[in-house]
């Protein structure tokens, strides 16, 4: 998970109706995330034949919304890359998310002392990659830390074409993380994300870590009025 501090104005046109930008210590963050889906079932019930294990790279930022007396903290995806057309089509249909299909490959290495992860996608004949290397033992994110802020947003929000927004719950146990990660992005990302965001991704991340993951349940969405 590569995290970049950005100006709020960069994201304001991506904020779904009914939500507002979330921040940590007054700072707004954009995250580039690479991970693996394993044993995936649609709505937790229906396996997709030959498509249950796959990689994803997504670019996301953080929002919040007040529901009665409770503040819901969530994520908004600018784009999500997967390697199979069926996965992208089902995700667009079920949640209205901006999924795209690209050739992808990955490399994950782990032993008792070190952890390394790398995800790549192919765009116009050239590979771009997100990578991280860490060592030591993963631990829960410290209370009140940036890592806790990044990993513990349990709602997803998607702007819909009719001007409304879709809200859905994402449930998982808190992740253990390696915080001493050397990480970065290499490649050309303007085709997917636009020139301004592509330039930001070329910087050294303001924060980077590896998370161990966990079982995740994504619930059916509901439209916000």
| Domain assignments of the chain as residue spans, ordered by start | 2-220
- Hey, what CATH topology would domain 2-220 get? Acetoacetate decarboxylase-like (2.40.400)
**pTM for this model (two decimals):** 0.90
Taking only the tens of pLDDT, the chain with its 225 residues reads 999 999 999 999 999 999 999 999 999 999 999 998 876 655 555 556 545 678 999 999 999 999 888 899 999 999 999 998 877 777 777 677 888 999 999 999 988 778 999 999 999 999 999 999 998 888 999 999 999 999 999 999 998 888 889 898 888 889 999 987 799 999 999 999 999 999 999 999 999 999 988 888 887 788 886
What's the rounded Cα separation, in Å, for the pair 77 and 61?
7
Give the pLDDT score at 85: 84
Give the pLDDT score at 216: 83
């Amino acid at each position: 998970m590569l995290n970049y501090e950005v100006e709020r104005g960069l994201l304001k046109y991506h904020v779904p109706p009914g939500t507002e930008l979330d921040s940590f210590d007054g700072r707004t963050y954009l995250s580039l995330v690479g991970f693996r889906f394993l044993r995936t079932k649609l709505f937790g019930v229906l396996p997709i034949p030959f498509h249950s294990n796959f990689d994803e790279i997504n670019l996301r930022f953080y929002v919040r919304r007040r529901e009665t007396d409770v503040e819901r903290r969530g994520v908004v995806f600018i784009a999500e890359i997967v390697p199979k057309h069926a996965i992208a089509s089902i995700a667009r249909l079920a949640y209205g998310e901006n999924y795209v299909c690209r050739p992808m490959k990955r490399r994950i290495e782990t032993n008792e002392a070190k952890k390394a992860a790398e995800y790549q996608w192919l765009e116009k004949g050239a590979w771009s990659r997100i990578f991280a290397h860490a060592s030591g033992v993963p631990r829960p994110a410290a209370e009140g830390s940036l890592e806790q802020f990044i990993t513990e947003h349990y709602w997803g929000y998607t702007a819909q074409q009719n001007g409304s927004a879709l809200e859905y719950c994402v449930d998982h146990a808190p992740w253990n993380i390696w915080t001493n990660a050397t990480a970065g992005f290499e490649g050309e990302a303007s085709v997917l994300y636009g020139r301004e965001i592509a330039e930001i991704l070329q910087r050294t991340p303001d924060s980077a870590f590896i998370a161990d993951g966990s079982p995740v349940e994504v619930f059916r969405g509901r439209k916000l009025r």
